[in-house]
Structure 1
Amino acid sequence: MRRITVPIALLALLGSAVPAAAAQAAPPPSIAWTACDPAEEVPEGVLCATLEVPVDWSRPGGPTIELALAKRPATDPSRRIGSLLINPGGPGGSGVDFAYFSGSAFSPAVTDRFDIVGFDPRGQARSHVVNCDSDLIGAQYTQLYPDNRAEYADLRATNRALALSCRELSGPLVTYVDTASVARDMDAIRAGLGEKRISYYGVSYGTMIGQQYAELFPSRIRALALDSNMDHAQNIAGYQKWESLAMEGSFRQFTSWCDRTEACALHERGALAYFDELYARAEAGELNPDGQPLPPEDLVNIVFGYMYNPNSWFELADTLLYLGQGDGGQTGRGEPVPNGYLPVMCSDFHFDVGAYPVLRAIEQAQNRLAPHTRLNPLAWSDLASCQNWPWKVTNPPHRLRASAELPPILLANSRWDVATPYEWGTSLASQLPSARFLTYDGVGHGTYWRSDCARAAIDTYLVELRTPAKGTHCPAVFPSSPVSAQAVPTVVDPLPQLTGPFRR
């Protein structure tokens, strides 16, 4: 790993305290855009670049990494507003790939007027990806629901071993991938673009990057559109509670939809009662599709993935029907595989609960809150996977410290979202006095692709800096038939390809 000194002028642009005279010693480095890797399928006109940033922002002269970037230039240069930075969530989603997809993912109202700039956050994709031992990742997955102290001890030991494997395979960056560091990287990108103020669209985990950028660099924002918001102020109890209720509420929306939609495969069976029957069979070890027992937590995991987009609900009904009708030791080190999600989450939230009875009490509380779906598998995985993480939380959870310099901000959340609960969005709105909160009254993740109404509001804000009226709600949209669910959308939701399953 090379060691370089970041120019002092760049440090000044990034908010570091340096003498004023020294800060004028050199202009900030500009980003050098070139053709992208020919081995990748890159849309015509998209350009790529790298930008060097410190591994540890408190030591700007120390080791560095290169961030990967991609830019889709505005298609109407005469009306260009500036750069729009984007992030698709995760942690782990590729902003470079998001830029590749941006021509179909965003409306012409946005792509005409902005250079769409995506970056792979530190530790992800092309930006010095964090690799971990695949065998330990697999072992962790099988231990996420311990039933006693011994199993919990095994989980904690596996978590620690997995984290140490990430460090061994990826180097010290593993302990510097927190979201505040990513926000500082984003300001380095702003400086490299030559922009005094940036516009930003972040969805899911990408909202946390935007939130922390707003906290650190309030005067450098032109527009901030945050869609499907996380809330960094959540403690363990709130994090689990709202996620579990979001899972239960989203699933109840599915069962109600199925009961009133004749084309749903479980319409005649009663979807909720049918699922409860499946869950009971899974608990008893009697749900055996393909001849293998399906644990109840895996059944909920299957349902969870379908809650991101109601257009998948006909397939969910078919899948549950199939599950109900079906009958049916390796040593050494596994292959290094990307696993940048956990190092971020375990750096951003206090999740370690200590003793097993505390974890068990949290599990029982969620089961009471959500009697049909029980635990939200994404939230529980976050909690269980960070037990005994060997390094401190470098970016502790807190309420945002909102500056009076912040411009109007647009926040949007679905009423039913299994990954980023509605209550997280309303909590965030209370922390940002300049924010306007938009509600999509439907189900799903990423309001921009769930609702024409929400998309139009976000487009208008980004282009015109005009927020919707206070208290604006966009109506829910549900598929009426399998044909309508497969209709060609106005814009294409890129999130499944960019962030993978069970990620924000």
Structure 2
Amino acid sequence: MRAVAAVVMACLTLVVAPAGVAGGATLAWRDCPGIDDPRLRCATVRVPLDHARPAGPTIDIMISRLPATDPALRRGVLVTTGGGPGGAGVPEPLNLATVVDPAVLARYDIVGFDMRFVERSTPITCGQPEEEPGGYWVRSATYQSLKDTAAEAREYARACARHAGWALPFATTAQAARDMDAIRAGLGERKLSFLGGSYAAMLGVAYGTLFPHRVDRFVLDSPVNYDLAWRPYELRRLPAFEENYAAFTGYLADNDAAFGLGGTPVEVAETLSRAFAEAAVEPIVAGDHAWTTGELGSLTVIATYFEQLWPVVATDLAAILARTPPPIPLDLRPAPLPGTPGVPVDNHTAVNMAFRCGDDAWPRDLATYRRDLTRLGTRYPVFGPSIANLNPCAFWPVSQDNTPPLAGNRAPAALVVAALRDASVPPANSAATARAITGSRLVTVDKQTHVPLLGGQANACLAGLVTAYLVHGHLPEQDTAC
């Protein structure tokens, strides 16, 4: 019932606005839903559902603002949002304030926004009873036939069309980038600066391609290569997934006395493989929760992404396999902050699928997926059966290329940062982005992590270069390894 009510409320925002309303009205600032920090204030910007029809139906985008701490030094706005796609962006200014230098906070209003269809911004649903683990629809060919996965994926796509068909043609990164420009106009700013990570960094790239004359200083933390979104990007990160998983099993083996999962990487891998197979037949009950294969896989992906979380994931895995509650529970299913009203229970997964399926056309014949699974499932046995597998994008009701080419980006030079052992967005993505935006610089850190700056893993070298750029506009003279 809650999801149905949220869909009704979302559809009620599809009203026809007079020409020029988007970005032209005075913003009314108020408390932010789900956030009790009085420094952060929120407002609504009305934007066209389809920017190609500016006088057509509109949707509401919620933005937040953390004012510059020194108005005398204020340069402008530094925009940010959540990754995913599907992550909330309204709380992000508070998170960003913990990782950037105070000199940055003195000079910029930090402005966040929930991307279209996410949480506070006209949220959508695909009518599912809960989020997928990680907010990401994925099935493994190891435990389910391609025929069964296709049937499940087809039904999910049909459900999305039933519940959110009005939104799906307009769930694209390019449309969201145009929302950003409406936010800029609504704030009365001539240009905007930007700091985003992962998918949000790709959104920043799209903005620079569409509005290069509106770009001030852009920091792109681990951007997805826009030209590869989405299936080629997914398949090309398989080697990094397998390498980082091997590093994690090595850590578990080195610490067998603490975790008891095996004394060698091979033994650890066998232990985890048996647990996944068992959970695929019947979830593993540990305390008051029954762990599915998808949840165990999502927990393992966290370790594959973030070396700094190895002890936490290892401790939890050991407890689950011992049938006891994990002592350091991690939130595997995304959820809005308490006090955020009207968010459908499957919103984050719905948005993730809508944008990944809507940005470009995916293969629609099962033979393509069968070939990829045969080829990549053998070469990359841990993650190949999942990442190379079919998903609802094969049956999506809208299927066309909506991505402006990276080669068309004429924005001013950006600062691009990346971790060398990032499985989520391997550094080749960041390097390609830096090459495409003329004059940009790539700064790397040798860590197994994702979004090193926004994830709090920047060393003094990386943090200093980001500060020098945002405060003074100084880019490094060359690409730099920190």
Using structure 1 for the length normalisation, give the TM-score.
Answer: 0.78
- Counterpart check, 1:401 vs 2:435: no
Secondary structure of 1:89's match?
coil
CA RMSD of aligned residues (A): 3.3
> Counterpart of 1:52 in 2: which secondary structure?
strand
Q: Secondary structure of the equivalent of 2:162?
A: helix
Question: Which letter maps to 1:420?
Answer: V
Distance 2:252 2:470 in 1: 36
Output the amino acid matched with 2:223.
Answer: N
Give the AA of the match of 1:193.
L
CA contact (8 A) 1:304 1:418 kept: no
Q: CA deviation at 1:201?
A: 0.5
CA contact (8 A) 1:278 1:287 kept: no
Amino acid in structure 2 at the alignment position of 1:178:
T
Q: Does residue 1:321 correspond to 2:318, yes or no?
A: yes
Answer with 52-61 or 310-319: which moved more.
Answer: 310-319
CA contact under 8 A between 1:123 and 1:129: conserved in structure 2?
A: yes
Corresponding position: 1:233 with 2:233: no
* Alignment map for 1:31-430 (pairs within 5 Å): 31-37=26-32, 40-135=34-129, 145=141, 147-148=144-145, 150-167=147-164, 172-234=166-228, 238-258=232-252, 265=259, 269-280=263-274, 282-283=276-277, 289-290=284-285, 299-326=296-323, 337-338=346-347, 339-355=350-366, 357-371=367-381, 373-375=382-384, 379=387, 384-393=391-400, 395-396=402-403, 398-403=405-410, 406-430=411-435
Partner of 1:345, secondary structure, is helix
User: Secondary structure in 2 aligned to 1:447?
Assistant: coil
CA shift in 2, pair 1:294/1:5, >3 Å:
closer
Change (3 A) 1:434 1:376: farther
Query: Residue type of the partner of 2:469?
Result: Y
**Is the CA contact 1:241–1:369 (under 8 Å) kept in the aligned structure 2?**
no
For 1:449-488, what aligned pairs fall within 5 Å after superposition? 449-452=456-459, 453-474=461-482
Secondary structure in 2 matching 1:190: helix
Task: Note closer, same or farther for the CA distance 1:136–1:30 as it changes in structure 2 (3 Å cut).
Answer: closer
User: 1:501 maps to which residue?
Assistant: none
Structure 1, 52-61 or 432-441: larger mean CA deviation: 432-441
**Contact kept in structure 1, 2:129 and 2:346, CA below 8 Å:** no
Task: Evaluate the alpha carbon distance shift between residue 385 and residue 326 of structure 1 in structure 2; reply closer, same or farther with a 3 A threshold.
Answer: same
**Counterpart pick for 1:432 among 437, 444, 461:** 437
Which amino acid counterpart does residue 313 of structure 1 have in structure 2? W
Partner in structure 2 of residue 29 of structure 1: 24
Q: Partners of 1:175 and 1:374 in 2: how far apart? A: 30
CA spacing shift, 1:375–1:327, aligned 2, 3 Å: farther
Q: Cα distance 1:267–1:136, how it changes in 2: closer, same or farther (>3 A)? A: closer
In structure 2, the CA distance between the partners of 1:54 and 1:247, relative to structure 1 (3 Å rule), is: same
Give the Cα–Cα distance (whole angstroms) in 2 for the partners of residues 389 and 439 of structure 1.
37
**Counterpart-to-counterpart distance in 2, 1:254 and 1:144:** 20
**Inter-CA distance 268–343: structure 2 relative to 1 (3 Å threshold):** closer
Structure 1 position 212, deviation (Å):
0.6
- Structure-2 separation of matches of 1:424 and 1:230: 5
d(CA) in 1 for partners of 2:253 and 2:99? 32
| Matches of 1:317 and 1:241, distance apart in 2 | 27
Give SS of 2:430's match.
helix
Range with bigger deviation, 65-74 or 343-352: 343-352
- Distance in 2 between residues matched to 1:137 and 1:354, nearest whole Å: 27
Q: Cα–Cα, structure 1 residues 235 and 33, in superposed 2: closer, same or farther, change >3 Å?
A: closer
Structure 1: gaps (5+ residues): 11-27, 329-334, 475-504
Q: Secondary structure at the residue paired with 1:93? A: coil
Offset of 1:369 from its aligned partner? 3.5
1:364 is displaced (CA, Å) by 3.0
Instruction: Confirm or deny: 8 A CA contact 1:289 1:325 kept in the other structure.
Output: no
Deviation per residue, 1:41-75 (Å, 9 max, x gap): 33223222111111111111111112111100011
Q: Secondary structure of the residue that 1:95 maps to in structure 2?
A: coil
Measured at CA, do residues 348 and 63 of structure 1 come closer, stay the same or move farther in structure 2, by a change above 3 Å? same
CA distance in 1, matches of 2:346, 2:322: 35
Compared with structure 1, are the counterparts of its residues 2 and 297 closer, same or farther at alpha carbon in structure 2 (3 Å cutoff)?
closer
AA partner of residue 97 (structure 1)? P
Q: How many Å apart are 1:293 and its aligned residue?
A: 9.8
307-316 vs 120-129, greater mean Cα deviation: 307-316
Please tell me the residue identity of whatever aligns with 1:366. Answer: L
Q: Aligned pair in 2 of structure 1 residues 301, 112: CA closer, same or farther (>3 Å)?
A: same
Q: 1:250 to 1:312 in 2, by over 3 A?
A: same
Given that residues 223 and 462 in structure 1 are in contact (C-alpha distance below 8 angstroms), is that contact kept between their aligned partners in structure 2? yes
Quick one: structure 1 residues 138 and 127, their matched pair in 2 at CA, closer, same or farther if it must change by over 3 Å?
A: closer
Match of 1:13 in 2: none
Match of 1:442 among 447, 450, 460: 447
User: What percentage of aligned pairs have identical amino acids?
Assistant: 25
Q: 1:375 to 1:166 in 2, by over 3 A?
A: farther
**Pairwise CA distance, 1:117:** 0.5
Does the CA-based 8 Å contact 2:80-2:196 persist in structure 1? yes
**SS of corresponding position for 2:44:** strand
Give the secondary-structure state (helix, strand or coil) at the position aligned to 1:364.
Answer: helix
In 1, the alpha carbon distance for the partners of 2:273 and 2:255 equals 23
Could you tell me how far apart the structure 1 residues matched to 2:65 and 2:277 are? 50
Unaligned runs of 5+ in 2: 1-13, 326-343
Task: Pick from 4, 16, 25 the counterpart of residue 3 of structure 1.
Answer: 16
Give the aligned residue type for 2:18. Answer: T
Task: Give aligned pairs, total.
Answer: 440
Distance 1:67 1:103 in 2: 22
